[in-house]
C-alpha cells in the first residue's frame, strides 16, 4: 500500500490492491470526496472583477475613455465660466465644451474615498472591486488627485481627473451631486459653487 496525494494537496488516499481487500487485510482509507470537492472550491482562485461586477458595473478610473467629450475641454470651459463671473449651469458648461447630453449627474471623487460614501453619492451599491483605479494620495506633501465622475441612470460614464494644484474652479461644496440643471455662481474665491 502506498499513499497517494492529489495534485491539489487536499486529499490523502491510501490505495489498496483489490486482492488485499479480499483477504481481509486492515485497510486505511482516508478520503471524503464531497469534502475534498468542497475544499477545492473554497480554496480556489477568487472571482475576477468581471465575474463579481459584470461588464456593465465595472469602472476603471485609469482608463481614459471620453464618451461624453474631452475632459480637457471641460476643465477649460469651467475655468472660462468662473472667469466670466456670470451665473451658469453645469449643463451649459458641458455643452460649451462640446459634450453630449448623455449624463444626468456629476459627483466629486476625492482621494482615498470611503466606498460606502462613494456608493451613496453615486446612488449605487457595488463592492470595492467594481471601483478600480480610485484616486489615492501618494504623499502628504504633494497634491491630492480626484475626479469629476459623470453618471447616467446610475451608470458611471466618464471621469475627468484633477488634482488639488490644478483643479478647475468648480466646488460642489460637498453636495452629493450636481445635475445639468444645477445653477452655479462665482463665489468670493472665484470658484463656481451651487447657487443658493
Give pLDDT, residue 26.
41
Q: Are strands 145-152 and 105-109 parallel, antiparallel or unpaired?
A: antiparallel
CA distance 129 to 49: 6
Give pLDDT, residue 174.
66
Give pLDDT, residue 31.
34
User: Contact at 8 Å (CB) between 157 and 64?
Assistant: no
CA distance 165 to 148: 15
> What are the DSSP calls for 63-110, one per residue?
S---SS--HHHHHHHHHHHHHHT--EEHHHHHHHTT--S---EEEEE-
pTM of the model: 0.73
Give pLDDT, residue 38.
43
Give pLDDT, residue 49.
74
| CA dist list (Å): 74 to 42, 68, 98, 105, 112 | 47, 10, 8, 15, 24
Give pLDDT, residue 5.
46
Q: pLDDT (tens digit, 0 to 9) for every residue of the chain, 196 residues total?
A: 444 444 444 444 444 455 555 444 444 433 333 333 344 445 578 887 778 887 778 899 999 899 999 999 999 999 999 999 999 999 999 999 999 999 999 999 989 999 999 999 999 999 988 999 999 988 778 888 999 999 999 899 999 999 888 888 998 766 778 999 999 999 999 999 999 7
Amino acid at each position: 500500500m502506498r499513499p497517494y496525494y492529489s495534485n491539489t494537496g487536499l486529499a490523502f488516499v491510501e490505495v489498496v490492491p483489490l486482492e488485499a481487500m479480499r483477504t481481509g487485510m486492515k485497510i486505511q482509507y482516508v478520503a471524503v470526496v464531497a469534502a475534498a470537492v468542497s475544499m477545492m472550491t473554497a480554496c480556489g482562485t477568487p472571482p475576477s472583477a468581471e465575474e463579481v461586477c459584470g461588464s456593465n458595473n465595472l469602472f476603471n478610473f485609469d482608463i481614459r475613455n471620453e464618451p461624453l467629450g474631452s475632459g480637457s475641454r471641460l476643465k477649460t470651459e469651467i475655468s472660462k465660466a468662473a472667469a466670466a463671473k456670470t451665473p451658469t449651469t453645469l449643463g451649459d458648461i458641458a455643452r460649451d465644451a462640446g459634450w453630449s447630453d448623455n449624463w444626468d449627474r456629476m459627483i466629486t471623487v476625492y482621494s482615498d474615498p470611503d466606498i460606502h460614501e462613494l456608493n451613496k453619492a453615486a446612488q449605487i451599491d457595488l463592492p470595492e472591486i467594481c471601483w478600480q483605479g480610485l484616486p489615492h494620495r501618494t504623499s502628504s506633501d504633494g497634491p491630492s488627485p480626484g475626479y469629476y465622475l459623470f453618471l447616467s441612470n446610475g451608470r458611471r460614464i466618464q471621469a475627468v481627473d484633477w488634482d488639488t494644484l490644478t483643479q478647475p474652479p468648480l466646488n460642489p461644496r460637498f453636495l452629493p451631486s450636481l445635475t445639468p440643471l444645477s445653477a452655479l455662481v462665482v463665489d468670493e474665491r472665484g470658484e463656481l459653487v451651487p447657487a443658493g
